[in-house]
Amino acid sequence: MRIDAAPAVPLVSLLHDLTWGDPPNRYHPVAWMGTAIAKAEGYVPPAGQRAQFVYGASVVIGGALGAAVVGHLLERAVSALPRPLGYLAEAALLKTTFSVRGLSGAAEEVYLALHDGDLAEAQRLVRWHLVSRDTARLDASQVAAATIESVAENASDGVMAPLLYYALGGLAAALAYRFINTVDSMWGYRDPAHEWLGKAPARLDDLANLLPARATAALFVVAAAIAGEDAGGAWRICRRDAGNTASPNAGQPMSAMAGALGVTLEKVGHYRLGVGQRRPAPEDIPRSVRLLRLASALAVGALVVIPCARRAFRKRGA
């Protein structure tokens, strides 16, 4: 694992993210992935379920392998730099695979609009930044719920998963994961244009997120205990409601978040998590952001401490 070579890289990367946030899209690898995927959609076979399925599978697998190769080459390049500079460069590259500040900022924008009583602006912001559903008819509580759900789900997809895959396989694994997740976010819909095109990316994304989603839910339980939220409720609601979503993964962090905050999170016609608890209020959004930040810090702390402890154990055994 690359993390064994530089345990401080995830910590520096998180500090980089919290301080400077995301680079402009023209310098952002995930934005480049999105552009490439959008161009690839222009070459989709016009008809035939099998042909579209094979094309979607080819794009997601080929793109992930290509991203892994690029990540490996970048890792080799930065490892040739003088040690402090190489570590800083690797941390900057890792930062492009996740975003705590961006997710927190998007949620806080929605909260400020709700706090100011501007429901229309809050509806626009949550639709622009966080969700793909129609938000025009959502009331303030439903907008708050959608925001909290997105914070929880994206904590797994957009923060914990890239960090976990970096720990397992360096930049190659982190970038490969980001490509899979990006294809799913663009093609993983059940509409006529994407039903078969996005089927392989969606299933591969489900597989890639099995462990990160559950790790995120566990981290929310620990973060809730630290923050003075309801850690017992997070554990209980997660065990009860995590399977209530169509996705095998999304319900894990969302139900843990619902339990920690003591609220019901509902997407009408799709799922209800934390049934029996109160409806969310705008003030619950900053609480969810706090849990996001604490869980992210815990994840990075584990990625720093575990390799250091392993090294110390090996030296002691030697």
Can you give the length of the chain in residues?
A: 318
Integer Cα distance of 166 and 227 in angstroms: 27
At 7, the pLDDT band (50, 70, 90 cuts) reads: confident
Confidence of residue 8 (pLDDT cuts 50, 70, 90): confident
Between 269 and 73, the more confident residue is 73
Give the pLDDT band of residue 318 (cuts 50, 70, 90): low
Nearest CA-CA partner of 108 in 131, 134, 126: 126
pLDDT of res. 284: 98
Average pLDDT on 191-201 reads: 94
Question: What is the percentage of the chain residues whose pLDDT exceeds 70?
Answer: 95
With a CB cutoff of 8 Å and minimum separation 6, the contacts of 162 are 94, 97, 98, 174, 177, 178
pLDDT tens track for 215-264: 999 999 999 999 999 999 999 999 999 999 999 999 999 999 999 999 99
Angle at alpha carbon of residue 285, lines to 284 and 290, rounded to 5°: 95
**Better-predicted residue by pLDDT, 104 or 7:** 104
Count CA atoms closer than 13 A to 21's CA, side-chain side.
8
Residue 243 confidence (pLDDT): 96
Q: Would you call 266 helix, strand, or coil by DSSP? A: strand
pLDDT in tens, 112-164: 999 999 999 999 999 999 998 889 999 999 999 999 999 999 999 999 999 99
> What is the predicted pLDDT for the residue at 4?
45
- Does the pLDDT at position 299 exceed 80? yes
What does the mean pLDDT of the chain come to?
A: 94
Mean pLDDT of 182-190: 95
Number of Cβ within 10 Å of residue 116's Cβ equals 11
Residue 249 CA to residue 247 CA, distance in Å, equals 5
